[in-house]
Amino acid sequence: MPSLLLRWRFFVILALSMLVLLWPLHGLVQAYYFDGLQRKNSQTLDLFAANLTGTLKQYEILPQILGRLPEVHNALLNPQRSETLEAANHLLNRMQQQTRADVVYLLDTRGTAIAASNWQHERSFVGHNFSFRPYFFEAMAQRTGTFFGLGNISLKRGYYFGNAVYVDETVVGVLVVKVDLDFTESLWGNTPERLMVTDNNGVAILSSEPGWLFRASRALTDGELAQIAEHQPYASREPERLELSGSQWLRFDKQLEKTGWTVSVLVPRQELVVQVQTAMAVVTASMLALLLVLGLLMQRRRHYLERIEMDASARTELEGRVQQRTLDLQTLNQRLRDEVLERENTRQALVRTQDELVQAGKLSALGVMSASISHELNQPLAAIRSYADNARIFLQQQRLPEVAGNLVLITTLTERMASIIEHLRAFARRDPQASEHVALQPAIEDALALLASRSHGLQLDIVRDIPDATLWVEAGETRLRQVLGNLLSNALDALGERQAPRTLSLSTRFVDGWVCLQIRDNGPGFSREALQQAREPFFTTKTSARGLGLGLAICDAVVKSLGGRLEFANNPDGGACVELYLKPIVSSVNLEAREDIV
């Protein structure tokens, strides 16, 4: 906004200074064109004056020459003889025609015309007296008489030359030659400039403007008026005033020394005004164009500077942004590094936790096993003891068949104990890290066998929907049994919380390339918190005597280490549903269902 104001102010100042410049320039242009006009018209004036003077000079000598001719002398000496006058008339007529003078005539000493070239004309000068004319008395005084005026007989303008005619050095008369100067006006042509020749009185005697003729271009003095009345050069004795306003006409004058006349060329001032105005219009237009070009150049320069400035600021901004971005990236990098470090720490912590969990799981399993051992082995042991005690009594009584029966029962019980111990050995076996091919069904059966006494106590329906063909999965023998033991133990715990009928359903199916073992019970199902936190170590809803909250956390860690996953949900008709996903070894098995009641 301020730059716009500045620009406008600059242009106003520039325009004003141009206006100030235009004023003197106008004066200069006017002076230039006036000079031109003056030069041109002074040449015109010189030419015209030379022409006029030359014409007059041509006739100046004529009266003297003609005055020496015998016919002239004879006429003046014998004016009463008609043949001498006739001879003079013929001579003057001939001379007039040869010299192209207007009239040539001869005056006697009283000023009366005795012979004239126009003696035959209607307005013949012969017989008229011209003694009032200056050319007569000047000639009589033996000087060359000159006069310009309107002929009082012919009523025609003319320049008169008069010279005395001498006979034996005596003045016997005057010979006059009248010159017609009308042609000088017609020479001028039809131009806007006007020609004017004024005589000593300032009266226009020749002019290309007919209306100006015989009008006084200046005020006349009384003496001049008296002389005019006496010599009668003009039609009127008091010539009208001719007002030539300086605002309308430009006047260029030249004096003719010999005649005392002034030749003037009058140029309509409008001519100069038009020239000056045209020149000023051109100058103004040029200046405006210059101003415009200057303005455009300035604008272009400003745009250029603005663009440079914009480029520079854009570059600075870009550099700033690049710097900021670099800084951001560095910060981000650092954050990423920190995050990677943190994740690595977390991962290591997780691995440690997993190891600890596995260890804890092992301990927990050991606890469960020791409880199971004591529970499972105590019963047959107690039975064996009682069978043995009874057998000793039967032996004392010599009841041998009963003794044999008791021994068979003892053997059966020891087999069962051996079987339990076999299972415990499987659990106690060192866990190999590499995955093995494990048969799923025996693992399930082993886990169920371990929990058999609890199952019996709960009067449980175990529904199996498992194919006969062995399902081989990627797992570890001990780890899989450990997981299954925990999951089944949880189901039994849950079923223990409700009244009969109690059902435990086991089914297998293939889902998206996985073997899925589904363990469902019709217990109370997972609580809302348990569904979210069951995998967390030490999360339990059971009393401290019954649960540590490690079972599912261990299972989750172990299953993950086997490359599988665990999913917890509730059945739509109540009870928990736990799904164990494991990688199959052979996928094309017969998944035919089988139902057992234990």
Binding site for ligand ADP (CB under 6 A): 486, 490-491, 494, 521, 523, 525-526, 530, 534, 539-542, 547-553, 576
First to last CA, the chain: 98
How many residues are listed for the chain in this entry? 598
Nearest-approach distance from CB 367 to ligand ADP, in angstroms: 11
Nearest-approach distance from CB 324 to ligand ADP, in angstroms: 51
Nearest to 135 by CA among 159, 114, 161, 156: 161
Nearer to ligand ADP, 510 or 539 (CB): 539
Residue with tokens 């100046």: 60
Nearest-approach distance from CB 372 to ligand ADP, in angstroms: 15
Nearest-approach distance from CB 574 to ligand ADP, in angstroms: 10
Nearer to ligand ADP, 14 or 462 (CB): 462
Nearer to ligand ADP, 162 or 361 (CB): 361
Is the bond preceding residue 501 a cis peptide, omega within 30 degrees?
A: yes
Spatial contact of 130 and 124, defined as CB atoms under 8 Å apart: no
Which residue in the shown chain puts its C-beta closest to ligand ADP?
551
CA pair distance 217, 461, nearest whole angstrom? 156
Nearest-approach distance from CB 441 to ligand ADP, in angstroms: 21
Nearest-approach distance from CB 493 to ligand ADP, in angstroms: 6
Nearest-approach distance from CB 532 to ligand ADP, in angstroms: 11
Nearest-approach distance from CB 508 to ligand ADP, in angstroms: 18
> Where does 213-268 have alpha helices with state H?
222-231
Nearest-approach distance from CB 415 to ligand ADP, in angstroms: 31
Nearest-approach distance from CB 473 to ligand ADP, in angstroms: 22
Nearest-approach distance from CB 545 to ligand ADP, in angstroms: 11
Nearer to ligand ADP, 8 or 538 (CB): 538
Nearest to 491 by CA among 464, 524, 459, 516: 524
Nearer to ligand ADP, 268 or 549 (CB): 549
Nearer to ligand ADP, 66 or 553 (CB): 553
CA angle 561, 563, 427 (to 5 degrees): 50
User: Cβ contacts of residue 205 below 8 Å, gap of 6+?
Assistant: 148, 157, 197, 198, 199, 213, 214, 233, 261
CA pair distance 447, 438, nearest whole angstrom? 14
Nearest-approach distance from CB 349 to ligand ADP, in angstroms: 21
Nearest-approach distance from CB 526 to ligand ADP, in angstroms: 5
Nearer to ligand ADP, 430 or 546 (CB): 546
* Tokens read off for 239: 């010539």
CA pair distance 442, 471, nearest whole angstrom? 10
* Tokens read off for 89: 């008339």
Nearer to ligand ADP, 364 or 435 (CB): 364
CA pair distance 567, 580, nearest whole angstrom? 7
CA pair distance 290, 484, nearest whole angstrom? 102
| Backbone CA torsion sign across 119, 125, 127, 130 | negative
Could you give the 3-state DSSP secondary structure of residue 380?
Answer: helix
* Tokens read off for 114: 């005795």
Nearest-approach distance from CB 428 to ligand ADP, in angstroms: 21
Strand 502-511 and strand 460-465: pairing? parallel
Could you give the 3-state DSSP secondary structure of residue 515?
Answer: strand
* Tokens read off for 32: 């230039």
Could you give the 3-state DSSP secondary structure of residue 191?
Answer: coil
Nearer to ligand ADP, 208 or 490 (CB): 490
Nearer to ligand ADP, 11 or 539 (CB): 539
Nearest to 127 by CA among 119, 137, 135: 119
Bridge partner residues of 256 (DSSP): 261
Nearest-approach distance from CB 488 to ligand ADP, in angstroms: 9
Nearer to ligand ADP, 27 or 574 (CB): 574
Provide the 10 A C-beta neighbour count for residue 191: 11
Nearer to ligand ADP, 315 or 560 (CB): 560
CA angle 406, 419, 519 (to 5 degrees): 125
Nearer to ligand ADP, 195 or 360 (CB): 360
Nearer to ligand ADP, 417 or 494 (CB): 494
Nearest to 262 by CA among 277, 280, 244: 244
Q: Using the 8-state DSSP alphabet, how is residue 526 labeled?
A: -
CA pair distance 560, 537, nearest whole angstrom? 15
CA pair distance 107, 127, nearest whole angstrom? 9
Nearer to ligand ADP, 403 or 580 (CB): 580
Q: What is the 3-state secondary structure (H, E, C) of 119-155?
A: CCCCCCCCCCECCCCHHHHHHHCCCCEEEEEECCCCC
